[in-house]
Structure 1
Amino acid sequence: MNAEIDREDGGEADAETETESAAETAADAEVDVDPDADADTDALDEGEWADARHLLYDMVSTPSVSGDEEAAAEVLKAFFEAHDREVWIDEIGNVRAPADDAVLLTSHIDTVPGDVPVKIEDGVLWGRGSVDATGPLCSMAAAAVETGVSFVGVVGEETSSRGAWHLVEDREEPDAVVNGEPSGWDGVTLGYRGFLSGTYISTSELGHSSRPEENAIQSAVAWWSRVADFFDEERDGVFDTVTTKPVTFDGGPTDDGLAVEATVDVQFRVPPRLSIDDVREVAESELTRGGVHWNKPIPPVMMSPRTDVARAFRVAIRNVGGVKPRLLRKTGTSDMNIFAGTWDCPMATYGPGDSDLDHAPNEHLDLEEFDSAIDVLVDVCERLADD
């Protein structure tokens, strides 16, 4: 896998499939807290989950861009210590609070860059990470201390997912997993497309431009056109299609002037109806010159709506709000893909917030929705622990 996963899927969503938003903004060294928002912090003390609201505000107010999660991890660790839970920060930076492995609640600590001033207006918290995914993370922390289930806050989800990869290599498989990403309090995500990236490299002998032979640059362009054409098929919705994207292209004479070289960094989003190997084999079969160096892939995942976890969410959402649960599939990729690729247990992804606000300059979360998500998670954890 590339050092960074491209998050540029489209923004439309419906009751079945949601696409990943990617309106990223420039990084600032510190989180900007709106000085005029103090009067509205009284909203943090309202309701049953005031302690969790304060954690959420403190976490959103603490910079946690990928690679710089240490300060936020300490805030999260202190929350568990205050509730007499065993907790530590592991060698990769994950916050680990093991307990009842009937359920593992896990979400990511890191955020993308971007200055969204932290403020509360009319019961709504504004700030980077409020939706993706500090809101889901803090709702899970509250549910974990309330019910006594296991919890991990992972690092690096927005880049290499190093926290999730370390987790599946370092701990035993739990009975069930709930991954934290925004689905809306009344929705639960069961599927994500996989992710495959690589670098195509081709070299040809340097010759006069009047020669008819194809050079390395032409070979690269032709190869990618064939691959993209192969996957350009009619499907019902983005989720079931293979999305192909060239992300960088470089070509020209080598430094010694004896050859022409072309390199193309490419990315594929892979639906659950196909495997990573299926897509890789197609790409390699279209090669006439050069080769592809593949990065570590992330497999697609599609969980059944009939698992114990999915059933627990359907019941809990009805219990909390009296509404019909929304079962979602998302066109992007999350840490649930990594967990599902290693652990053979039921899982789903859940969290408060509108995923259209992921990475957006107006990222914000309604505090009442945050409370409702905690209620749902507590119901789910108690139901699964009883089972």
Structure 2
Amino acid sequence: MPSPVDPVALTAALVRCPSVTPEEGGALVLLEGLLSGAGFDCTRVDRNGVPNLFARWGRRGANRSFGFNGHTDVVPVGDAAAWTHDPFGAEIEGGYLWGRGATDMKSGVAAFAAAAVDFVRETPPDGAVILTITGDEEGASVDGTQAILDWMAAEGEAMAVCLVGEPTSPERLGEMMKIGRRGSLTAHVTARGVQGHSAYPHRAKNPVAALCRLMDRLDTHVLDEGSEHFDASTLAITTVDTGNPATNVIPALCRGTVNIRFNDLHSGQSLSDWLAAEAAKVQAETGVEITLKVVVSGDSFLTPPGSFSDLIADAVEAETGIRPVPSTSGGTSDARFVKNHCPVVEFGLVGKTMHAVDERVEVAQIVALKAIYGRVLRDYFA
């Protein structure tokens, strides 16, 4: 019997792969070698230059099939000189493994890959274990997990349930799991007026004033007070810009952007309609043309508490002594795509340093996370 897979060494090897979106960086090649050697059928599901990996142990179409989902791409390091350690060095110091992607989420991928390999070697299940790993979660996410799921549908591949290994714990491993996520929408607003001299504003149509009026209405509007499983929806103005360096010229153009994180009381379509209606009111009041380009990254979703979430919570509690709180907080993840395929829950490490300079993960947490994922597999197939 081969030795158990060391999730810390695997995390380090993955961190050394410079897989800044959209570069594969060798991370999926490394994982494919590990999984193929353990009897997984592996397929690269690259689409439009985006690297993705599908791996299945067991027969296609098995009644019981447990899936994991994660990503190996990472955000840019920023100023490399500001890092205490080489961002791609995977150095271990002070009980931490340092490097870009150490938390988000190469440690999670390493933990579930190591747990899956050991599980099928030690106790081959009556069913299938499936890993879906993308190189495009931090980017546009159009040809990442969505491409894998499209390919699976065409090939007759399916997961009965899926655990996404994103960081979910605020302070201590085990505190929180995600049973849903808020939706996300970004609206790019353009106001087109008539340029003129600032001393004669009646001869111009000021797009800045019109856009500020609209932004104020959006910002002061209360979307909701929250719902049973979700906090209140939020709207944030992220930029207002004219690009106008002159103090005595009313510009012809002004642009702004708002981002909305919304709960299950709304949809991307209903919020798009509301934004369009508000823009139309301001346009009618000011005579300034206002156009919108709305991008919906995903609607809100919820996996209702039940047997699957209990399975995850029981395993976490057994390994850590902490029962995770089911939550829908935070940003978006690829769970928003997986939920169209099967029930999905997210559970992973403490995410305090993700995307930050000196991103790092506690080595002991990687070991504990593998143990949790291993218990989840054993309990699911028991």
TM range (shorter): 0.7 to 0.9
Shift of 1:275: 1.8
Q: Deviations over 1:130-155 (max 9, x none)?
A: 11111111111112223341001111
Shift of 1:363: 2.1
Classify 1:252/1:126 alpha carbon distance in 2 versus 1 (closer, same or farther; 3 Å): closer
Moved more, 211-220 or 195-204: 211-220
1:216 and 2:207 aligned: yes
Q: Which amino acid aligns with 1:330?
A: S
Look up the match of 1:160: 140
Which residue of the other structure, out of 367, 374, 377, is the alignment partner of 2:373? 377
Which residue of the other structure, out of 37, 43, 67, is the alignment partner of 1:82? 37
Classify 1:251/1:219 alpha carbon distance in 2 versus 1 (closer, same or farther; 3 Å): farther
SS of the counterpart of 2:187?
strand
Look up the match of 1:336: 335
1:131 and 2:89 aligned: no
Look up the match of 1:327: 326
1:180 and 2:180 aligned: no
Please say if residues 75 and 355 of structure 2, whose CA atoms lie closer than 8 Å, have aligned partners that are also in contact.
yes
Moved more, 170-179 or 224-233: 224-233
Larger Rg over CA atoms? 2
SS of the counterpart of 1:174?
coil
Paired positions, count: 332
SS of the counterpart of 1:357?
coil
Q: Which amino acid aligns with 2:255?
A: T
Q: Which amino acid aligns with 1:281?
A: D
Classify 1:85/1:220 alpha carbon distance in 2 versus 1 (closer, same or farther; 3 Å): same
Q: Deviations over 1:286-314 (max 9, x none)?
A: 112322012243112232222x3201111
Shift of 1:122: 4.4
Question: What are the residue-to-residue correspondences of 1:24-103 with 2, within 5 Å?
Answer: 50-91=5-46, 92-100=50-58, 102-103=65-66
Look up the match of 2:124: none
CA distance in 1: counterparts of 2:201 and 2:95, whole angstroms: 69
Q: Deviations over 1:166-191 (max 9, x none)?
A: 12322234211111211244132223
Shift of 1:232: 7.0
Which residue of the other structure, out of 137, 142, 161, is the alignment partner of 2:114? 142
Please say if residues 164 and 335 of structure 2, whose CA atoms lie closer than 8 Å, have aligned partners that are also in contact.
yes
Shift of 1:233: 6.7
Q: Deviations over 1:241-275 (max 9, x none)?
A: 2232333523559xxx9981222233222223322
Instruction: Give me the TM-score of the superposition, normalised by structure 1.
Output: 0.77
Please say if residues 201 and 263 of structure 1, whose CA atoms lie closer than 8 Å, have aligned partners that are also in contact.
yes
Classify 1:198/1:106 alpha carbon distance in 2 versus 1 (closer, same or farther; 3 Å): same
Which residue of the other structure, out of 317, 331, 350, is the alignment partner of 2:347? 350
Q: Which amino acid aligns with 1:84?
A: G
Question: What are the residue-to-residue correspondences of 1:293-308 with 2, within 5 Å?
Answer: 293-306=293-306, 308=307
SS of the counterpart of 1:292?
strand
Please say if residues 248 and 266 of structure 1, whose CA atoms lie closer than 8 Å, have aligned partners that are also in contact.
no
Which residue of the other structure, out of 208, 218, 231, is the alignment partner of 2:222? 231
Look up the match of 1:10: none
Classify 1:238/1:150 alpha carbon distance in 2 versus 1 (closer, same or farther; 3 Å): closer
Look up the match of 2:253: 261
1:196 and 2:214 aligned: no
CA distance in 2: counterparts of 1:235 and 1:351, whole angstroms: 25
- Structure 1: gaps (5+ residues): 1-47
Please say if residues 235 and 258 of structure 2, whose CA atoms lie closer than 8 Å, have aligned partners that are also in contact.
no
Look up the match of 1:169: 150
1:272 and 2:246 aligned: no
CA distance in 1: counterparts of 2:313 and 2:337, whole angstroms: 24
Look up the match of 1:13: none
CA distance in 2: counterparts of 1:258 and 1:188, whole angstroms: 51
CA distance in 1: counterparts of 2:324 and 2:356, whole angstroms: 25
SS of the counterpart of 2:201?
coil
Q: Deviations over 1:37-76 (max 9, x none)?
A: xxxxxxxxxxx85532221110112211111124222122
Which residue of the other structure, out of 241, 244, 250, is the alignment partner of 2:233? 241
CA distance in 2: counterparts of 1:318 and 1:195, whole angstroms: 31
Q: CA RMSD in A?
A: 2.8
CA distance in 2: counterparts of 1:126 and 1:227, whole angstroms: 41
Identity of aligned residues (%): 20
Instruction: Give me the TM-score of the superposition, normalised by structure 2.
Output: 0.78
Q: Which amino acid aligns with 2:73?
A: D
